[in-house]
């Protein structure tokens, strides 16, 4: 009954605020990137592009999706690895011994999601749907990053008086993979940081932290 008293923002505040930050920063990225893009065009003797032109440019697509790609990759791998791997003392880990609530077999009760009630293949997919969703988002972002990076690379080639490259040639280009790897490594550093720092450090009230008075050796939330 108590939840009915709370408004929409109270019940969805975390996702709303996070998405608001995302839209704020991607807007800042767009306008600063557009300015940089036009400066580069003018330096090479080309006219500045409109906002709509920049939105579909390789410059914007490359910068956006190379970051999204790395985020979804690290989330997919992290979710999958936390099924079986442990870290003693970390709030991000399952306990070292015994089963947890997430390990119990699903029960087809009245309020269970429909794949649980359906069973069979649908249940099997649903049991792994979080990881699969992140994997799908990774491949979509990876593809869009590749398309944008290729377009941006070829624009630079043309501006320098060189021949553009094909997609099959560019997939093996170190320039493209450098863009990916520089983001991938930073994402796994961030995940490793919260896994390790949550062993010794606390944030009162956060579900990502152990209780403030919990011993360092306590594993799990």
Domain limits, the chain = 1-55, 65-99+108-221
Percent of the chain with pLDDT over 90: 90
The pLDDT-based confidence of 98 (bands split at 50, 70, 90) is confident
Name the CA radius of gyration of the chain, rounded: 23
The answer to whether residue 3 scores a pLDDT higher than 70 is: no
Interval 156-197: pLDDT, tens: 999 888 999 999 999 999 999 999 999 999 999 999 999 999
pLDDT(4) > 70: no
- For residue 14, count other CB atoms closer than 10 A to its CB: 8
pLDDT of res. 5: 80
Rounded to an integer, the average pLDDT of 20-42 is 97
* Mean pLDDT of the 111-136 span: 95
End-to-end alpha carbon distance in the chain: 27
CA–CA gap between residue 83 and residue 213 (Å, rounded): 26
Name which of 218, 199, 219, 198 is nearest 208 in CA terms. Answer: 198
Q: For the whole model, what pTM was predicted? A: 0.92
Binned at pLDDT 50, 70 and 90, residue 150 comes out as very high
* Nearest of 159, 167, 174, 176 to residue 65 by alpha carbon: 176
Q: Return d(Cα 127, Cα 105) in angstroms, integer.
A: 10
Contact 100, 82 (CB under 8 A): no
Please give the torsion angle defined by the CA atoms of residues 97, 101, 104 and 110, in that order, rounded to the nearest 10 degrees. Answer: 170
Rounded Cα distance between 142 and 149, Å, is: 10
């Amino acid at each position: 009954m108590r939840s009915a008293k709370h408004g929409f923002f109270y019940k969805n505040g975390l996702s709303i605020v996070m998405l608001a930050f995302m839209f704020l920063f991607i807007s800042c990225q767009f306008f600063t990137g557009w300015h940089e893009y036009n400066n580069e065009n003018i330096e090479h003797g080309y006219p500045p592009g409109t906002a709509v032109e920049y939105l579909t440019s390789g410059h914007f697509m490359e910068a956006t999706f190379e970051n999204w790609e790395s985020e979804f990759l690290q989330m997919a791998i992290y979710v999958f690895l936390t099924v079986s791997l442990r870290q003693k003392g970390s709030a991000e880990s399952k306990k070292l011994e015994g089963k947890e609530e997430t390990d119990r077999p699903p029960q087809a009760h009245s309020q269970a999601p429909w794949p649980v009630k359906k069973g069979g293949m649908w249940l099997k997919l649903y049991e792994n749907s979080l990881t699969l969703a992140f994997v799908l988002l990774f491949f979509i972002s990876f593809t869009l990053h590749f398309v944008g990076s290729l377009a941006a690379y070829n624009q630079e080639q043309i501006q320098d008086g060189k021949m553009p490259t094909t997609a099959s040639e560019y997939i093996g280009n170190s320039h493209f993979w450098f863009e990916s790897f520089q983001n991938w490594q930073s994402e796994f550093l961030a995940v490793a940081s919260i896994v390790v720092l949550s062993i010794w450090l606390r944030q009162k009230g956060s579900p990502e932290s152990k209780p403030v008075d919990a011993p360092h050796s306590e594993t799990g939330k």
